[in-house]
Amino acid sequence: MLSIYEGIFAKQFILFYGESLKYYIAEESTNGPSLTESDSLEASEWTVGADESAFGLLNDMCAADIMNDDKTLVALVKTYAERICLIEECLEIL
């Protein structure tokens, strides 16, 4: 995990639409670790085009599929495929 400040660490997670993440926060002391908080987060909101990254497009495709929005799904798959082709044509592994 990334150290943010003395004794404070952070970890980034990518959640796709409909996924959830259970987490807990523990403090360590001379008596040993103690649980201070636990909860779960869920990626339940969806806005088409909110994130134009590859992960954003994949998330949009998952959400469109779950919601049976075939028109949006086809458009997103086309955009994703075009970007993959563009990357493969323009970039090469060194």
Neighbours of 59 (CB within 10 A): 23
Of the ranges 14-18, 81-85, 90-94, which is most confident?
81-85
For the chain, the domains span 1-45, 47-94
The pTM of this model reads 0.59
Per residue in 1-47, pLDDT (tens digit) is: 888 888 788 888 888 888 899 988 888 888 888 888 899 988 777 66
